[in-house]
Structure 1
C-alpha cells in the first residue's frame, strides 16, 4: 500500500481564504481552541497543515501547535496519523519509572525499538523540569513514541516533532479510569527561547568537524535508507552552523541507517572516536567500571570487548577511548539489566571476539 498525503490546491485555498478566516475567528470566539491559537490567521495556517496531513479541521486545531514558526504535533496525534495510514503492523509500549520502550513494526519492515528513560532525560537536561519530576513515566513514554515514529513512519508524520522536542514547556494532565485506561492531555505553556549564536569571523572548528561527520554519515546512510527519509533528517537540523544540531543530526542519521541495515550495524558505528566528539567524563568512567565489574569484566581487555560488542563496533573499545555520547548509550543500555543479564552479555562479547557467537 502506498501512502499518499492529501495535497492542498493553492488556488482553491486562496479562493476560500476569507471563509476560512471567518471560520477561524468564530472558533476562537467559541473558546473551543487551545490558548496557543490566538488569531484567525494562525487557525487557518493550522487547518491548511491539517489538510496536507488528511486531518479534519478540529483534529488539526487541537493537535497541531506552532513553535517558533514550525508546526508540531502532539504524540497522540502522531499515533493517530500512523493508525490512519494502515501501515502499522504492531506496536508495543512498556512504561515505568526506569524508562519507556516503544517497538513499532511497519508492514514489510523489521521492527524498530526506541527507548527513553532517566539516563536520556538527564543527558538532555530534562530531569529538573517539573513534568519529569511529577510524571516521569508519561514523559518517557511520549518521548519514546515520537522517536520511534520518526524512524519507522517519517512519511506519515511528515517529519513533524512534538512541542517539547522543539523547546516548548508542556503541561501533562494524566487521568486513569476504573478500567485502568490512561488519558493524557498535553498542553503547551511556553517556549524556551534559544540563545543567539555568537558571531564568528572564522569557522568554528568543532562545527566544521561535526558537519563533516554529518556529510560522511549521510553518504553512508543513503546506501541503505530511502533518499527522502535521509533528506528530511538532513534538512531539519541546522547542522552546518551549530555543533549541537550537527550532533543530533548525526545521531538520527545513524539510527536511521541501523534501522534499514540491521544486519550490518558495525558499518555505521565507528570503532574509534573522533576529535570532534566530547570524550567520556571521569564520572562516566566510574559508572562504567562499576557496570563492567557486575558483568564479570575484570581486566581492561574484557572491558574493551564488552564496550565494542555492545556498541556494535568493528572491534574492542577501551573505556578511556569512548566518547561522551557512547558512554550515555552504554549507561542507558545496562541501566535496566540485572546481574545475570549483564553477565550473559559479557559471555556473548567473549564468544563474538573468538568468532564463535551462536
Structure 2
C-alpha cells in the first residue's frame, strides 16, 4: 500500500471529512456522478453541486480496492447510492492483480458483423478462460439500441435517439461500448476477488454514459410550478388533497415527497376532533372556613387546662 493511501487510512474521521469537503470544492473538475441536487438557502432554487458524502464513498471504496483517492475519483462513480466502476479502472485492476485480459474485435458496425470478445485468463487458473462477446444485436436486445438494420444501400446502421431526436452514445460509439460491456461481463464472472463485487458499470445501473463509460451530466433541476406540499398541508378535505395530487401529476411534478405529504394530510383529517373545553367552571365544593376559637377553646380541644 502506498504512503499516500496509508496516510489516509490512518487519518481520523474529522480529518477525512475535512479532506473530502476540500475536494468537493473542486466543482466542475469532479465527475458528474459525484454531484447532487441541493436547495440554495439564499435563492430557494435547486442547484447541482458536488456531494461531500459521495466523494467520501468513492474515496473509501478506492481504499478498499487499493487505489489512490485521486484515481478513485476518476474511476469510480456513484449511481443511486451505489458505487460503480469505469471500464478503464476495471481493466487496470485486473491486470495489476496479475490476470490477463484480451479484447478482440472482428467485423464492423456498417458490415453488420461486428463482435467484440473479451477473454479473461486468471493467473491461478490459466486452463479456464472467461470469454464473453457483445454485438450490436445484444445491445438491441438489452434496450441500449433502438434498432440495428441495413439501409437501402445495404449498410448496417445502429440507431439510438433521445426524446429530442439527438443520437445517443450507443449510436455514435457502438463498437467501443460493446467492448466495455464484454469487459464487464468477463470481469464479473472471473475477477470478483479483484473488484470486491464492484463489477457494475454506471450504464448497467441505468445511467446515461459517454463513449468511455462515464456518466454524462444530469439535466439541471427545475423549480416546481407550485408548492404542492404546502397546499396539501392546508387542504381541508380528502377531495381537495386528491385534486392537488392530480394537478401535480398533470404537471409532471408528482414526487414521493408529495405523495408522503398527501398521506400525512389524509391521516390528520381522519383523526377525531378533540372536544372543546367547557367555558363554565365545574362546581367544586368549598369547605366552610373553621370557626375562630379563643385560646381557652384551643386548650380545651387539645386536652389542656385553661
TM-score w.r.t. the length of structure 1 is 0.44
How much has 1:69 moved relative to structure 2?
1.4
Deviations 1:238-278 (A, max 9, x none): xxxxxxxxxxxxxxxxxxxxxxxxxxxxxxxxxxxxxxxxx
Q: Would the alpha carbon gap of residues 185 and 167 (structure 1) be closer, same or farther in structure 2, given more than 3 Å must change?
A: closer
Contact 1:146-1:162 at 8 Å conserved across structures: yes
List aligned pairs for 1:96-111, cutoff 5 A.
Answer: 96-97=108-109, 98-107=114-123, 108-109=125-126, 110-111=128-129
TM-fit CA distance, 1:122: 0.9
2:33 to 36, 40, 45: 36
Residue 171 of structure 1, CA deviation: 1.6
Q: Is the contact made by 1:102 and 1:145 (CA closer than 8 Å) also made in structure 2? A: yes
**Contact 1:22–1:40 (CA under 8 A) maintained in structure 2:** no
Give the alignment of 1:241-320 within 5 angstroms. none
Number of corresponding residues:
171
Relative to structure 1, the CA distance from residue 150 to residue 185 in structure 2 (aligned partners, 3 Å threshold; closer, same or farther) is closer
What's 2:104 paired with?
93
Question: Cα–Cα, structure 1 residues 101 and 166, in superposed 2: closer, same or farther, change >3 Å?
Answer: same
Structure 2, unmatched stretches of 5+, are 35-49, 147-159, 161-167, 220-306
- 1:157 matched to which residue of 2? 195
Q: CA deviation at 1:42?
A: 1.6
Counterpart residue number, 1:112: 130
Name the structure where helix makes up a greater proportion of residues: 1
Q: Which residue of 1 aligns with 2:90?
A: 78
**Which residue of structure 2 lines up, in the alignment, with residue 140 of structure 1?**
178
* Structure 1 residue 13 displacement after superposition: 5.9
CA distance in 1, matches of 2:10, 2:101: 40
- Aligned pair 1:23/2:19, yes or no? yes
**Offset from partner CA, 1:18-70 (integer Å, 9 cap, x none):** 21222112222234321322122221111111111100001111111111111
After alignment, is 104-113 or 77-86 more displaced? Answer: 104-113
Runs of 4+ in structure 1 off by over 3 angstroms are 12-15, 187-191
**So what's the TM-score if we normalise by structure 2?**
0.51
Which residue is 1:45 aligned to? Answer: 57
Q: Unpaired runs of 5+ in structure 1?
A: 173-183, 192-358
Contact 1:114 1:147 in 2 (8 A): yes
The structure, 1 or 2, with the larger RCO (C-alpha pairs under 8 Å, 6+ apart) is 2
Q: Which residue matches 1:223? A: none
* CA distance in structure 2 between the partners assigned to 1:19 and 1:171 by the alignment: 34
Structure-2 separation of matches of 1:92 and 1:68: 30
Query: Corresponding residue for 2:216?
Result: 188
- Residue 141 (structure 2) aligns with: 123
Judge conservation of contact 2:103–2:116 (CA < 8 Å) in 1: no
